[in-house]
Structure 1
Amino acid sequence: MSTRLALVGCGAVTQAVYVPLLSRRRELFEVTAVCDLSRTHADAVGERLGVTRRYTSLADMLEAGGFDAVVMLASGSHGEPVRQALAAGYAVLCEKPLALTEAEVAALPEGRLMVGYMKQYDPAVRRAEEILAELGGAGVIRSVEVTVLHPSGESQLAFANLAQARDVDVEPLRAAENAILDRALGERASAELRSVYSVALGSICHDLSLLRRFTGSPVAVDHVENWGGSPGSIEISGPLPVVGRYSIRWHYLEDYPAYRETVAVHHDKGTLELAFPAPYLMNAPTVLTVVSGAESRNEYRDVTEAFETQLLAFHAFVTSGKPPLTDAAGALEDIVTAQRIAARYAVQHDLVLGGEAGER
């Protein structure tokens, strides 16, 4: 059964990832509408997908209808546009982060919502989950150690020949985003505190989503440090919910040659290590290295694209009701963890903190 989709947000991830994937899975998806604040972006994506119904207003698109589901791909907080789409009765796939505040999630109506964390659908991650379950689950983990080397977005997407838009005034968008951050962190929150929080929900949330799959969300945040500029480098650590500890080291390295992310799960009998490539490179395999007794090392890799598997899961969710790996509750757990990160950083550095995070 083909699902008719409306795409909201026609920027980098849409052009580099979703357009190619939807173009090759036309037996399952038909894009019937696209929407972006930029007419340039909407036209670029509309041309590539053969879509004539192009909007610069979400309200106009939702009122016109003609689709079964909405894929929310715009940047920033998605709380309000997702609320509008759910209220209009559409199923929604929302790219992370779902929102920046708990209040935005609480305001969402009942409906069919899937939150996209594509790494959860990576075949190497699913295999690691299976192996961990065979070993005894979260109770055998000693530590989870994450390292992210993050070059500039421009360098990661240089290959994609993206359409550039200069027909949108970004200042009102920044003001609206800052207003939401005010509710999350308080109006007096410093620029560095806002940067740490934004990185936590914009990038580190992928690693939080993996922790949710492997161990459950962290129960606390013991230590947070930020150095080397803004966003610079961020270090986070604390206890896992069952046993053991986690550590995350995230480094923005503008001129680093290529994105690299490693997640090592050390357990009683060895290590499961995942090495992720740049997320925008289609069908580039994540490598799972399994280290066990007597120095045995085995590698697992699969070129199945995680973004594509996520889309297939959304199709199953819309057509047959199969639950997604992350819904609003899972996304809310990541927001709470990000606010705990901000709260710990504020305490360590004697920074003013208010809003929702001030209550953590």
Structure 2
Amino acid sequence: MKLALVGCGAVTQAVYVPLLSRRRDLFEVTAVCDLSRTLADVVGDRLGVARRYLSLGDMLADGGFDAVVMLASGSHGEAVRQALAAGYAVLCEKPLALTRAEVAALPEGRLMVGYMKQYDPAVLRAEQELAALGGPGAIRTVEVTVLHPSGESQLAFANLAQARDVDVAPLRAAEDALVSQALGASAPPAVRALYGVSLGSICHDLSLLRRFTGSPADIGHVATWGPGPGSIEISGALTISGRFSIRWHYLEDYPAYRETVAIHHDKGSLELVFPSPYLLNAPTTLTIVSGGESRTEVRDVTEAFETQLVAFHAFVNEGKPPLTGKDGGLEDIVTAQRIAARYAVLNDLPIAGEAAP
């Protein structure tokens, strides 16, 4: 299957370039696109791709590929709209967009939203274990803790090329305008920052909640504290039974990324511990705690990003539905807006736009 890559930054260089290089049995990259000529050339050189673009419109018009993989940062709404309108299948990295309106504007087409943790073998095993317990109704609580060091420290090993030939000011202004559409023009920096983290990082945990229990039925409490991105605490009711809590901490110099998702039920627990997403084939550990204090650890080095790519191949060529499509991507946007709105209400801050209560 012939692919075009849009966005040649960190996740492309650290994850997709090595994976696509070793899965040439399934994929051939025939075009790359980035606003930075430097990054387009770096990725093009590493993958042996001669067709390199600075304009998405030019690339789509020239064609020569079957599907587009959206890997740029920020909102993907308009780029996905253009690719679908041109008739291409799309794999879009999260988030799908920053606003509900962008999703509503998408034409019909083949769209898969990339949440690689959903394809992690440990997550799939946890789903099987939960089903054997009777499904979401067995859950008492889901507790998530994310310890998030700086991106630079997580990617120090990757020798990334940097884009120094692009003026980012217009890009930031366009993204800020979309956030204003979502939250209202008067939404203060604290609410905007919370929304950014919710759609940029916590969305992975929202995607797991969707798989295990469905999106939250209620956002009861939201708090933030600490410097910079700081710490975020979110809790509320699950759809069928039980409650959830998410505690996300940006810790600049923490030794290593760590994400724990624990599902507790009357007879035991299912605990997932995720490593840094940039470390390919580093296993996620699933610990199954059951009767008589029995503990079983499941570890598998199958790479979730790779499994996700294989699933995209099956989606395009065999029609096998993805784990998340447009509707799931929209659900996470709506949940992120509910989180922002709850925080604003609790702190007597202005909130409007799509997130208005």
Give 1:69 deviation, angstroms.
0.0
Alignment partners' CA distance in 2, 1:325 and 1:189: 33
Letter in 2 for 1:223: H
Question: Which position in structure 1 is the counterpart of 2:273?
Answer: 275
SS of equivalent residue, structure 2 residue 65? coil
Return the alpha-carbon distance in structure 2 between the equivalents of residues 121 and 105 of structure 1: 23
Match of 2:82 in 1: 84
In the other structure, the counterpart of 2:34 is: 36
Partner of 1:217: 215
Aligned residues of 1:123 and 1:304 also touching (Cα < 8 A): yes
TM-score scaled to structure 2, two decimals? Answer: 1.00
Once residues 355 and 342 of structure 1 are traced to their aligned partners in structure 2, the CA distance between those partners, rounded to angstroms, is: 11
Task: Give me the whole-angstrom Cα distance separating, in 2, the residues matched to 1:268 and 1:217.
Answer: 22
**CA distance in 1: counterparts of 2:262 and 2:70, whole angstroms:** 31
Identical positions, percent? 80
CA–CA separation in structure 1 for the residues paired with 2:288 and 2:155:
31
* Aligned residue identity for 1:104: E
Shift of 1:229: 2.2
Summarize deviations over 1:292-351 as a string: whole Å, max 9, x none.
111110000100000000000000001011000000000111111101100100001000
| 1:159 maps to which of 157, 160, 163 | 157
Q: Please give the alpha-carbon distance, in whole angstroms, between the structure 2 residues aligned to 1:118 and 1:50.
A: 26
**Aligned pairs for 1:297-316 within 5 A:** 297-316=295-314
Pair 1:256-2:254 in alignment: yes
Task: Please tell me the residue identity of whatever aligns with 2:348.
Answer: D
Partners of 2:266 and 2:328 in 1: CA distance = 28
Separation in 1 of the partners of 2:51 and 2:111?
Answer: 24
Specify the SS of the correspondent of 2:235: strand
5 Å-filtered alignment, 1:88-237, equals 88-237=86-235
**1:50 and 2:48 matched:** yes
Unaligned 5+ runs, structure 2: none
Which amino acid in structure 2 is aligned with residue 348 of structure 1? L
CA distance in 1, matches of 2:170, 2:100: 23
- Corresponding residue SS for 1:329: helix
Alpha-carbon distance in structure 2 between the residues aligned to 1:155 and 1:71: 26
Q: Give the Cα separation in 2 of the matches to 1:195 and 1:302.
A: 35
The DSSP-based 3-state class of the residue aligned with 2:296 is: strand
Correspondence 1:6 to 2:20? no
Any conservation in 2 of the 1:7–1:73 contact (CA below 8 Å)?
Answer: yes
- In the alignment, the residues of structure 2 paired with residue 165 and residue 249 of structure 1 have an alpha-carbon distance, to the nearest angstrom, of 32
Shift of the alpha carbon at 1:231?
A: 1.2
Any idea what SS the aligned residue of 2:295 has?
Answer: strand
Q: Give the whole-Å Cα distance in 2 for the aligned partners of 1:314 and 1:155.
A: 30
Rounded to whole Å, the distance in 2 between the matches of 1:181 and 1:256 is 29
Which residue of the partner structure matches residue 292 of structure 2? Answer: 294
Residue 350 of structure 1 is matched in structure 2 by 348
Q: String of CA shifts for 1:162-217, please: whole Å, max 9, x gaps.
A: 01110000000000000000000000110010000000000000000000000000
- Write the distance in 2 (CA, Å) between the matches of 1:77 and 1:258: 27
Using the alignment, how far apart are the partners of 1:229 and 1:210 within structure 2? 28
> 2: CA distance between counterparts of 1:342 and 1:105?
19
Alignment TM-score, normalising by the size of structure 1: 0.99
Corresponding residue for residue 318 of structure 1: 316
Q: Kindly provide the amino acid, as one letter, of the partner of residue 5 in structure 1.
A: L
Which residue number corresponds to residue 17 of structure 2? 19
Counterpart CA distance in 1 for 2:58 and 2:123 is: 39
Map of 1:61 onto structure 2: 59
Offset of residue 127 of structure 1: 0.1
Letter in 1 for 2:41: D
Shift of 1:220: 1.1
Amino acid at match of 2:72: A
Give yes or no for contact 1:195–1:230 (8 Å, CA) kept in 2: no
Q: How far 1:230 sits from its partner (Å)?
A: 3.0
Q: 3-state DSSP class of the match of 1:352?
A: coil
Spell out, residue by residue over 1:94-153, the C-alpha distance to the aligned partner (whole angstroms, 9 max, x if none): 000000111100000000000000000000000000000011000000000000000010
2:328 aligned residue: 330
Question: Residue by residue, what CA displacement relative to the aligned partner does 1:235-260 show, whole Å, maximum 9, x if unpaired?
Answer: 00000000000000000001101000
Instruction: Report the AA paired with residue 154 of structure 1.
Output: E
1:346 maps to a residue whose letter is: A
